[in-house]
Structure 1
Amino acid sequence: MGWFLGLGIVGVVLLALSLVFDGVLEGLFDGLLSLPVIAGFVSMLGFAGAIAMGTTGVGTVGATAIGTPAGVVTGWLAYRLSRVLLRDRSGAAPRDDDLIGAPGSVVTAIPADGYGEVLVHLAGQLVKLAAKSPTPVARGADVWVEGTLSQTAVSVRPVER
């Protein structure tokens, strides 16, 4: 039973190492042989074998026969879960061009020769950006984004009503 408990502990240690060495062995056999899969197999083989030996009194061969299928199922579940998590792609990150035409409002007045600040709706969220305008724009005015000057600055024009 000590060997099986040792295998279970080794599997848990492998799982902890997979958090540190993320991606090691991921490329082998299309991710089938990754550290989380190996850790799941080894730990379940060990713990299921130890439980089988302790509760039923079967020998080493019987404990191995019980622990191996449990380890295979756990390894397969770890493989499937990792595939699902790796395929989870959220939408594409917003780009600078996505700001053009976005509505916003001035939170810090924009002078004719400098920068102010605007709140712009981007991907369903309010984003505060530095803003420049060819004409002065008062605080609270509604604006449209005409172009992007950098990742954090835009050129705007007031909304004409």
Structure 2
Amino acid sequence: MAWFLGIGITGVVLLVLSLVFDGLLDGLFDGALDGWLSLPVIAGFLSMTGFGAVIAHEGLGLAPAAATAIGAAAGVGTAWLTYRLSRMLLRDQTDATPTGDDLIGTSANVVTAIPAAGYGEVLVRLGGQTVKFAARSAVPVARGTEVWVEAVPSPTSVVVRPVER
């Protein structure tokens, strides 16, 4: 039983080391530890093999050989689940980052009046969030007016025109 516990604890220690030194060993071995030989997969296999064998030996009263077989089967299952979960997480994609071109044609609300020759401020919904931009317009625009974004001359300013209804 001490051997089984040692294998299980070794797997847990290996898992902690793989979390602390994330990618360090992968760089040392030039990507050889990818996929089925990644440290989390090996750690999951060792941990479940050791702890599964302890449970089978002590809990079910099986002989060491049978307990080892059950622990190894549980370890292979855990390694497979760890591999599949890591592949799923690595393939996860996020939405594209909004750019200035995404602003063109969107509506905004004026929060600081826009004089004919100067800047005011507008609130625009961008990527699900409200963002404040400095705004210019060819005509004066009063506070509270709905406007359309026509151009984005800089990352912090927009050119707008009033909505005609």
Q: Secondary structure at the match of 2:141?
A: coil
Q: TM-score, normalised by structure 1?
A: 0.83
Residues 159/16 of structure 1: CA separation in 2 closer, same or farther (3 Å cut):
same
TM superposition shift of 1:29: 6.6
Change (3 A) 1:106 1:36: same
The normalised TM-score by structure 2 is 0.81
Supply the distance in 1 between the matched residues of 2:39 and 2:154 (Cα, whole angstroms): 42
Task: Please list the CA deviations of residues 31-64 of structure 1 after superposition, one character each: whole Å capped at 9, or x if unmatched.
Answer: 2222221221111011101112212344443332
Range with bigger deviation, 119-128 or 44-53:
119-128
Structure-1 residue corresponding to 2:17: 17
Q: Does 1:118 align with 2:110?
A: no
Identity of aligned residues (%): 65
SS at match of 2:154: coil
What pairs up with 1:34-73 in 2 under 5 angstroms? Answer: 34-73=38-77
* Aligned counterpart, 1:160: 164
Structure 2: 5+ residue stretches without partners = none
Task: Name the residue aligned to 1:81.
Answer: 85
- Structure 2 equivalent of residue 103 of structure 1: 107
Q: Distance in 2 between matches of 1:8 and 1:101?
A: 59
Comparing 109-118 with 64-73, which one deviates more in the overlay?
109-118
The change in CA–CA distance for 1:151 and 1:63 in structure 2 (over 3 A counts) is farther
* Counterpart residue number, 2:141: 137
Is contact 1:23-1:34 (8 Å) kept? Answer: no
Contact persistence 2:50–2:71 (CA under 8 A): yes
Aligned length: 161
> Structure 1 101/62 Cα, relative in aligned 2: closer, same or farther at 3 Å?
same
CA deviation string 1:72-96 (max 9, x = no partner): 1101001111111222213322222
| CA contact 2:33–2:39 (8 Å) conserved in 1 | no
Across the aligned residues of Structure 1 and Structure 2, the Cα RMSD in angstroms comes to: 2.4
Structure 1 unaligned spans of 5+: none
Please state how far the C-alpha of 1:23 moved relative to its aligned partner. 4.2
